[in-house]
Amino acid sequence: MKKIFLAIVAVFCMSTMVNAQNWIGVRGAFGSGYGAELSGQWGMGGNRLETDLGWASGTNWSYINLTGIYQWTGAIAGPFGWFAGVGANLGLYSGSNADYNGFGLGLAAQVGLELNLSIPLQFTLDFRPQWDFIGHSGFGYGGALGIRYRF
């Protein structure tokens, strides 16, 4: 029985890995305080996990932010698709204002469109609101253009 269970788990894991598409690239974000991000998308069957490491700075502030979003995906037509998801973000902020110093933890959402080419390139356009409720608190939003390479 134990061998059968292990065989079923192995087949499930291999089929998930075969269907998974992993992407790595960058997101150029715009909006309320967003900057550039290193971005990865990790296939999970038909859905995926997006992880982004971002940084930005202004006249009197700067931040480093790590975001993880679980995304549901779907097809529109041909190489075009959509995605939407929810997740969390963790940030370190510094600035001349005391409210902009320290740690932030919050929730994030994301919705967007993607173009998956026949060559291993993906282009995305998305919108992401986020709300930090621990530490540095506040609401922010941003859009982003992304380009990723499939491996």
8-state DSSP, 98: G
Q: How far is CA 122 from the centre of its chain?
A: 14
Q: Is the pLDDT of residue 6 over 90?
A: no
Q: Specify the pLDDT at position 5.
A: 43
Residue 95 to residues 67, 140, 143: CA-CA distances in angstroms? 21, 16, 23
- Supply angle C-alpha 149, 37, 62, rounded to 5: 170
Percent of the residues in the chain that have a pLDDT greater than 90, as a whole number: 52
β-sheet bridge partners, residue 87 = 69, 108
What end-to-end distance do the CA atoms of the chain give, in Å? 36
pLDDT, average across residues 23-46: 86
Q: Specify the pLDDT at position 150.
A: 92
The residue whose two tokens read 């290193």 is 38
Q: How confident is the model at residue 4 (pLDDT cuts 50, 70, 90)?
A: very low
Percent of the residues in the chain that have a pLDDT greater than 70, as a whole number: 81
R_g over Cα of the chain: 18
Average pLDDT, the chain: 83
Q: How far is CA 140 from the centre of its chain?
A: 16
Q: Is 17 left (phi over 0), alpha (psi -120 to 50) or beta?
A: alpha
Range from 9-23, 52-66, 130-144 carrying the lowest mean pLDDT: 9-23
Q: Is the pLDDT of residue 13 over 90?
A: no
